[in-house]
Amino acid sequence: MKKMKLRHNLKGQLVCLAREAKEASRVLAAVSSEKKNTVLKYMAESIMAGKEQILAANAKDLKNAALKRLGKAFVERLALDERRLMEMAESLREIARLEDPVDKNIRSWVRPNGLAISKVSVPIGVILIIYESRPNVTSDCVGLCFKSGNAVILRGGSDAINSNLAIYEVIAGVLDRYGLPRSIVSFIDSTDRKAVDVLLTLDEYINLVMPRGGESLIRQVRDRSKIPVIKHYKGVCHVFVDDGADFIMAQRIILNAKVQRPGVCNAVETLLVHQNLAEDFLPTMIESLQDAGVQVRGDLLTRKIVKGLKVATEKDWSTEYLDLILSVKVVKDIDEAVRHINNYGSSHSDTIVTQNEANAQKFLKEVDSACVYVNASTRFTDGYQFGFGAEIGISTDKLHARGPMGLEELTTYKYVIRGNGQIRE
């Protein structure tokens, strides 16, 4: 692990760091699965062994956050405690238990001329992660990148710098102990915003950028990057309650998707209800949402059924509230629901509550989102929930990867072709 203190020659230093990361990625690619798993388990142990330093560093960040009067949601994401450290360690152990995603034979075939072609999974190379306040992202990203054979360059938010550095010191010690190059994990220990701009031009060394943060940060990275970017713009997720749906199930799913953790991307923002059940379903549903502290905004039909609601405007349909707010619309049928989702949604996660198998299939096929659900909460769109151990991010892009990204999504492939002297006629 390489810690970067930026001084004078910013560009030169970053080029050097990125080049060393590239070289280290080649060393890591040759490390056996067994050794990688041993190192990961030792990282987990070391995080628990280093908990005092990590929590002390986190206390400094929390103190600074209080001085800066940063918001409650921010502090909630930043704060570490023993339970959260245990979760970080458990993610690393879970990643160690998962199958190595590299060097897998994806497909093999033989051509008429005798050439034997295999498509084999390989690491991507060097991955740059730009993230904000959550310190667990540091260990999750190190774990996933390490297991998938990728060098990683971490650029965390300045408000979590002490916590991130403490976690990184622990991981650095583990790499040293196992004789692995420090450049397998690099940490940009600088709050100079120019550092990111420089890194985004280094497409010779860095193969992928994953910005994790607000939509404007991500658009900035996309506009400036010469390196391919996998993006997560926002989560405008929907629940559609179909005609004939089980009311109790629909109510539980909607409350869970809205209320359990409203500040995250896989929380629901818009409820669509089939016109045939709107009158029976909406009054109780909206009452229970309001009881849970949710502000409900309705379209014309919803407001006819339940009086006194705020108006849902055109803008509401594409807004990610990240808050206890829900927009509600009554739709004619499943076709209108699908059109609405494809038109206003963010291709993230959408669910249908239904007892009708034909409609379930139609929804799964026609809704153009990374994760499409039948009879379950959208809150499951998450690497850990999917069984990936952790996630490097969630993609709302369509290229390379969609939805929660775990180990497999951190690989690419090469074609391995064996012949016995074949030439092209």
Q: How far is the CB of 141 from its own copies (least distance, A)?
A: 17
One residue of 125, 135, 298, 389 binding its own copies per CB under 8 A? 125
Per CB under 8 A, the segment of 86-94, 286-294, 315-323, 400-408 that binds its own copies is 400-408
Report DSSP state, residue 243: T
The residue (of 163 and 381) whose beta carbon lies closer to its own copies is 381
Q: How far is the CB of 275 from its own copies (least distance, A)?
A: 23
Judged by CB under 8 A, the residue of 33, 228, 247, 277 near its own copies is 228
Angle at 316 between CA 312 and CA 320, to 5 degrees: 140
CB 199, CB 206: distance < 8 Å: yes
Task: Please tell me the distance from the alpha carbon of residue 184 to that of residue 179, in angstroms, as a whole number.
Answer: 11
Judged by CB under 8 A, the chain residues 15 through 54 that form the site for its own copies are: 26, 29-30
> Using CB under 8 A, which of 74, 178, 247, 413 touches its own copies?
413
Burial 327-343 (b: 16+ CB within 10 A, else e): bbbbbeebebbbebbee
Applying CB under 8 A, which part among 38-46, 183-191, 250-258, 304-312 lies near its own copies? 250-258
Q: Which of residues 134-153 bind its own copies (CB under 8 A)?
A: none
Note whether 117 binds its own copies by CB under 8 A: yes
Query: Which helix (DSSP H) or strand (DSSP E) does residue 319 occupy?
Result: none
Q: Which amino acid is it at 127?
A: I
Spatial separation of the C-alpha atoms in residues 199 and 201, rounded to whole Å: 5
CB 216, min distance to its own copies, A = 14
Q: Contact, 1 vs 182, CB < 8 A?
A: yes
Closer CB to its own copies, 26 or 68, in the complex = 26
d(CA 21, CA 184): 6
Q: How far is the CB of 373 from its own copies (least distance, A)?
A: 5
Both tokens of residue 255? 């409350």
Single out the residue of 159, 377, 383, 407 in contact with its own copies (rule: CB under 8 A): 377
Residue 106's H or E segment, with its range, is strand 105-110
> Is the CB of 322 or the CB of 374 nearer to its own copies?
374
Q: CA torsion sign, 180 to 181 to 183 to 187?
A: positive
- In single-letter form, the type of residue at position 317 comes to W
Q: Which is nearer to its own copies, 51 or 274 (CB)?
A: 274
Going from the C-alpha of 18 to that of each of 23, 206, 376, the distances in angstroms are 9, 7, 43
DSSP labels, 13-27? HHHHHHHHHHHHHHH
Nearer residue to its own copies within complex by CB, 270 or 349: 349
Q: How far is the CB of 177 from its own copies (least distance, A)?
A: 26
- Least distance in Å: CB of 247 to its own copies? 12
Kindly give the pairing relationship between strand 310-311 and strand 126-130: unpaired
Taking phi first (over 0 means left), then psi (-120 to 50 degrees means alpha), and beta for anything else, what does residue 403 get? Answer: left
Instruction: Write out the binding residues for its own copies, residues 48-107 only, by CB under 8 A.
Output: none
123/157 with CB nearer its own copies: 123
CA distance 73 to 70: 9
CB of 197 to its own copies, least distance (A): 14
Q: What distance in Å separates the CA atoms of residue 41 and residue 39, rounded to the nearest whole number?
A: 5
The SS3 call for residue 110 is: strand
260-279 binders of its own copies (CB under 8 A): 260
Give residues 179-208 in contact with its own copies (rule: CB under 8 A): 207-208
Q: Does 290 bind its own copies (CB under 8 A)?
A: no
Q: Given the rule CB under 8 A, which of 74-82, 122-130, 175-183, 320-328 is the region that contacts its own copies?
A: 122-130
368 scored as a contact of its own copies (CB under 8 A): yes
Contact between 200 and 224 (Cβ < 8 Å)? yes
Complex with its own copies: residue 164 or 266, whichever CB lies closer: 266
Nearest one of 121, 104, 182, 193 to 146, comparing CA atoms: 182
Q: Rule CB under 8 A: choose which of 35, 60, 310, 365 binds its own copies.
A: 365
Picking from 126, 149, 129, the residue whose alpha carbon sits closest to that of residue 137 is 129
What are the residues binding its own copies (CB under 8 A)?
Answer: 26, 29-30, 109, 111, 115, 117, 122, 124-125, 207-208, 222-223, 226, 228-230, 246, 249, 252-253, 255-257, 260, 342, 360, 364-366, 368-377, 379-381, 385-387, 397-400, 402-403, 412-424
